[in-house]
Structure 1
Amino acid sequence: MICPHCGKNVLHRERGKRTCAKCGRLFALEPKESPFRLHDLRMRRLIDRLGDGRNLRYTLPQLWYAAARGRLRDPGQTFFGIRMGISIALGIVIFALAVTGLVYWALALGAGVAALVGVNVLLTALRPRYLATTLVPMPVTYARFEQFVVARWIQVYGAPPAGSVDGRTPLPPMPARPRFAVLCPDSTVLTCLSANNVAGLWGMAPVGRIDQLPPGVPVLVLHDASVPGITYVAGARAALGARVVPVGLAPRAVLGKAKAIRLREGRPTADDLARISGERLTAEERAWLADGWQTPLASVPPAALLAALGSAVDRVERALDPDRRRAAAVGFLTWPTR
């Protein structure tokens, strides 16, 4: 590990009690113990990335998701590991039987080949179901992240990570005369937007419930890429009609994106899927949702959220009424490439 203070490479035995043996200074995160194998320099890179070089504010749950990127379970790789482990174990058993003389070499070789072929045929048949049903949760809970990352960071550096805001911070009062509203069920995202002054930028009121919306203004809807998220925007459209402008996150925005956070905690029921049957989704999006995949909106970096809202505001402002109705079927939020 590179010491965040002196910049020297420090071996594990040289950094006991999270103290660099070369400069004697305490650091916050030991990668062999910290969630997501975080260390101070990687933490600073995550902070810089979320700030986007513009000192954007972000919530601690957004930092949690950013730290998890690239560290989620891959069902395909997991299944490959299971297959290799079973094959190796079977080979060792057959080899041991032959070496100990319990089975003749020729018989052991024949039985081993037959067993390996049979096992791999069975595993090949089981693979599609495994890939379609295995769970992919966040590898570390947010509570553990707070305890072993954020709290230790505060302990060493005297303050929370630069630019962060607590996702539980109450929202400020909405502007006196809002021009737009952004409706989102995730308070973490609303806190992020408020901290980045969407009220001042666009006269926008961040709102968590339909009954809190100011009257008569366009409503930009943000939601997860998930069955509940799609259901949420459908409900908003049914309640508010042409005022609704879905901004995202649509499943198509994360399909094929290697950096997107894709989680699976179970498969939706037939009733759940029926509620989104009337939505404009591609066959690929419907299959992705039916398999239980989801991407939380809070995993989208602040820069992408703000860019999506800015694009939606620009389109609504320039649109005539017929175009505004067509915009209600368009999702603007895409996954960042960086």
Structure 2
Amino acid sequence: MICPHCERNLLRKERTGNRCTHCNRSYALDPKTNPLRLNDLRVRRITAALSDEGRIGIVPEQLWYALSRKRLRDSEFGQGCLGGAFVVAGFVTVVAFVAETPVLLIASAALLLAGLVIVVARAMGAGRGIPPVAREAFPTQVLGAWREVYGTLPPGVLDTSEPAGGTSEPAGGTAAVTGAADTTGVLVCPDRAVVAFLVADGLPARHGLAVVRSAEEARAVPSNGPVLVLHDSDADGELLVRRLRDALPGRTVIDAGPPLRTVRALPQAVPYRDPRRKPGPAEMRLLTEPGTYTPEELKWLGQGWRFPLVGLPPARLLTVVDRIAGQVTRGVDADRRRAADLGFLTWPETAGPDPVGGR
């Protein structure tokens, strides 16, 4: 790996204890010892790209996804075990037949069986799409090591360890409403990290949107304005829009989440699975009833696959949500409509990466 300080190419023996033997300075991440195979220079490079060279702040979860994409795409479940098991099994089998040793024959059979189990597991998709570092573990396993060495987060990454801007949760467990005063509409987003990202950019305040995380909180907002729904492309997200329309009859509910069919068709979109968040039979019945999903899409959703909002390129996410929010709220608030007509609240359209971006 390359030392992030002196830029010398370091052999393994030249960087024991995450310290360069040439410049004697410590670094945070060694690709040989962390599950995502990261080094400091790669983290800086990806962070710079996500934050548009520091022009926008990103949240740790967006960095987590970007750094996990390669490992998710190139799933390596069982490859080393599989090859090793068959090589050893073959060697042991040859020796067993030559020596006519029953114990070795039994051992070779066990190894061959283990290899076959791995083959079947891989064919059934076991281990595919599961991040090597869980989203909730990323701040400790990766960013914790970064803080120890550099004393702060990578440049451009927002510190969301402390609640900010009204996104905190009181003792009762219900998220506080952000921007509820003088609101023209409601933005519903269950993902706390995405809410923090949008609030840090000032998007809800710019459009007079109250930010909540559930249908119950949306119903409590004193507004009859439109309801904008931002969600992951997964079973929970697909059902959220329906639940909101049922909970808010007569209100305009706009699905602003990435369309499932569109996302799945994009080659650069890399989904992941969380075995703890697979939809149950009741949820699958609700997804099946309308007849809007193909059997393949239902299978995909039922296996717990998802494409997260934090996987969208941050600049693109801001641009899309800002444009939709602007179009929606202009029709509600006369002052905002007049300002938009004059161009004060519109952002220039710039060519950017695809909605799910590749890296």
Q: Residue 270 of structure 2 aligns with which residue? A: 260
- After TM superposition, give the deviation of residue 8 of structure 1 in Å: 1.8
One-letter amino acid matched to 2:198:
L
Q: Provide, for residues 141-171 of structure 1, a one-character-per-residue CA deviation record: whole Å limited to 9, x for no partner.
A: 4564323432332233232222222335233
How large is the RMSD of aligned CA atoms in angstroms? 3.6
Map 1:146-157 onto structure 2 (within 5 A): 146-157=139-150
Q: Provide, for residues 267-297 of structure 1, a one-character-per-residue CA deviation record: whole Å limited to 9, x for no partner.
A: 4332120122345334432221122212333
Q: Provide, for residues 226-253 of structure 1, a one-character-per-residue CA deviation record: whole Å limited to 9, x for no partner.
A: 2222222210121224511111144324
One-letter amino acid matched to 2:285:
A
Contact 2:233 2:306 survives alignment (8 Å): yes
- After TM superposition, give the deviation of residue 194 of structure 1 in Å: 0.4
Q: Residue 330 of structure 1 aligns with which residue? A: none
- After TM superposition, give the deviation of residue 298 of structure 1 in Å: 3.0
Does 2:227 align with 1:219? Answer: yes
Contact 1:227 1:289 survives alignment (8 Å): yes
SS at match of 2:183: coil
**Alignment size in residue pairs:** 312
1:145 to 135, 138, 156: 138
Structure 2 CA distance for partners of 1:205 and 1:5, relative to 1, 3 Å: same
SS at match of 2:145: helix
- After TM superposition, give the deviation of residue 310 of structure 1 in Å: 2.9
Structure 2 CA distance for partners of 1:67 and 1:337, relative to 1, 3 Å: closer
Contact 1:135 1:264 survives alignment (8 Å): no
Q: Residue 323 of structure 1 aligns with which residue? A: none
Q: Residue 57 of structure 2 aligns with which residue? A: 57
SS at match of 1:206: strand
Contact 1:59 1:165 survives alignment (8 Å): yes
Identical columns (%): 32
Q: Residue 124 of structure 2 aligns with which residue? A: 130
Q: Take 2:321 and 2:315, find their aligned partners in 1: how far apart are those partners?
A: 10
Structure 1: runs of 5 or more not aligned: 321-332
- After TM superposition, give the deviation of residue 97 of structure 1 in Å: 2.5
Does 2:287 align with 1:273? Answer: no
SS at match of 1:220: strand
- After TM superposition, give the deviation of residue 20 of structure 1 in Å: 2.0
Structure 2 CA distance for partners of 1:86 and 1:49, relative to 1, 3 Å: same
Structure 2 CA distance for partners of 1:82 and 1:151, relative to 1, 3 Å: closer
Q: Take 2:17 and 2:83, find their aligned partners in 1: how far apart are those partners?
A: 38
Normalised by the length of structure 1, the TM-score is 0.77
2:356 to 328, 335, 338: 335
One-letter amino acid matched to 2:184:
R
Structure 2 CA distance for partners of 1:166 and 1:211, relative to 1, 3 Å: farther
SS at match of 2:71: coil
Q: Residue 36 of structure 2 aligns with which residue? A: 36
Q: Residue 158 of structure 2 aligns with which residue? A: 165
One-letter amino acid matched to 2:311:
S
Structure 2: runs of 5 or more not aligned: 167-177, 333-353
Does 2:64 align with 1:72? Answer: no
Q: Provide, for residues 58-108 of structure 1, a one-character-per-residue CA deviation record: whole Å limited to 9, x for no partner.
A: 112222222212113866x536666545543442233112332569xxxx9
Map 1:77-92 onto structure 2 (within 5 A): 78=77, 84-92=83-91
Does 2:186 align with 1:174? Answer: no
1:191 to 196, 202, 206: 196
- After TM superposition, give the deviation of residue 262 of structure 1 in Å: 1.3
Contact 1:254 1:260 survives alignment (8 Å): no
Normalised by the length of structure 2, the TM-score is 0.73
2:245 to 234, 237, 247: 237
Select the structure with the greater relative contact order (CA < 8 A; seq sep ≥ 6): 1
